[in-house]
Structure 1
């Protein structure tokens, strides 16, 4: 029995021979990656260049768009190489690096959405105290939490996985996945499972807190004026849509990891495993770019 330090590489077992179609898939993935980079960079530039957008809500949005770039870069170049490759292997060190990138991306996404919901809660439910409650220092602390907590939590998760003894090196995915590596373990995984459950539980609490803030926002909206309702709907709809879309994708990923999906066509399994990593970076720029008037106006004037 050897530990992961003696496993030089992992084989990705979800890939299958697509023949000449691999060039078509390569072009599709490449096009998606270019669109994601262009859309998110454009919105970051618009927010940074316009002083009127240097407000907490747009600063949190800028953090969200930066995370989309980070997560996409951790996945898309790797996919492009693997699509054209005939041997779908990856070194153990790079595999863990990709797991770190993908998992921190997902955690930052939820943290960022939680901070954004808190910001909207203060703006709509406590408008008179908003400027005193959401100070520059508080924005800086929330941004630091959004990024620091996921990096620390996932670093611990990866450290526990690296120390495992493995009985195989085949991961039945198109990218590296921590749960798949844990399933390869010959050694005791009790600590990994407990930490994974605790981490999942904290993420669920984070999601519940997000929904709680929006319930409070909706109560204010229905009891307020028509103008208040319109403002709340225009700013909160993209946040809720983004949360539901990402949660939907994560749910598919969890189901695929935890249950036997052999009866599901391979192409469909690949689509579901990539949905939460590819759809969100495309979804967010469209939702926020089209629904938030200030961003739309500034983007049109910049272009």
Structure 2
């Protein structure tokens, strides 16, 4: 039996069967994808922060969503790009726990931020005259702190519990560390860890149910008037697309964790593992940048100004 504290590294085996040519191709695609994620999220963050007219709750929550995308991907892409060029795919014990913490606190924060955004849309559409009284600067800051700090607290508890496990092996059949992989390496009972993990999953699944319930109510109210219908189409549709985006990604990840056995082709397993860190951070800012006219117009204006200065 190997004590967890005695382990200094883990071996990631997700890329073990990949040829050098395929790795080079995947490196180019991954680098392009990560560059696009940095660009679209960074552009939206800078656009919102630099324009005082966009310092409204909805846009600040969107800024928080984009920042969360950058936060989650930095724990995966640099290491994954390095592994694609390296022959040995090793990660330190501390690095593995840190990766678990960042990646899953990112996923939980994504849902929490979308829940906060759903509440904001509910107040804006159903209680428009009270909106500025309800969504004060103090409440906006509290909601942003809730959506960032609570996921970190939940995931911190999960990671601390995982760090206490005694592990019998150091091979992780994935391209990055995840909590379920650590539990599978455990030499002793993991019942309490599984229960705590299940409670966290249920808690954030409850966020999804809250969003769905709020939107059923929003549809009833919004479609009573043309103005309400316009607001719903412009601000709520991209929010629903982002919710669908992260929910599908999380379902894939959970399916992979429970059913991603060796029978399943490794490329499919790798895709199911990676898509939660690639698809939502890439698509969310594109969806919002396209649908929100004020953000879209600001970005277009910025590029036009830059082009005119170059001339």
Q: TM-score, normalised by structure 1?
A: 0.97
- 1:242 offset after TM fit, Å? 0.5
Which secondary structure does the structure 2 equivalent of 1:80 belong to? helix
In structure 2, the partner of 1:244 is: 244
* Structure 2 stretches lacking a partner, 5+ long: 304-311
| Aligned-residue offset at 1:260 | 4.8
Counterpart of 2:263 in 1: which secondary structure? Answer: coil
Q: Is the 8 A contact 1:99 1:178 kept in 2?
A: yes
Trace 1:62-77 onto structure 2 (pairs within 5 A): 62-77=63-78
Alignment correspondent of 2:82: 81
Counterpart in the other structure of 1:156: 157
Give RMSD over aligned pairs.
Answer: 1.0
What is the CA deviation profile of residues 39-64 of structure 1, one whole-angstrom value per residue up to 9, with x for unaligned ones?
Answer: 11111110011111000000000000
Map of 2:301 onto structure 1: 301
Separation in 2, partners of 1:197, 1:263:
25
How far apart are 1:264 and its partner, in Å?
A: 2.3
Change (3 A) 1:4 1:289: same
Q: What is the 5 A alignment of 1:220-299?
A: 220-222=221-223, 224-299=224-299
How big is the shift at 1:227?
Answer: 2.8
Mapped partners of 2:49, 2:187: distance in 1 = 50
Residue by residue, what CA displacement relative to the aligned partner does 1:240-260 show, whole Å, maximum 9, x if unpaired? 000101110110111111125
Structure 1 segment 122-201 matched on structure 2, within 5 A: 122-201=123-202
CA contact (8 A) 1:166 1:186 kept: yes
C-alpha displacement at 1:261, in angstroms?
3.4
Residues 109, 147 of structure 2: 8 Å contact kept: yes
Structure 2 distance, partners of 1:117, 1:260, is: 33
- 1:216 aligned residue: 217
Instruction: Answer with 258-267 or 110-119: which moved more.
Output: 258-267
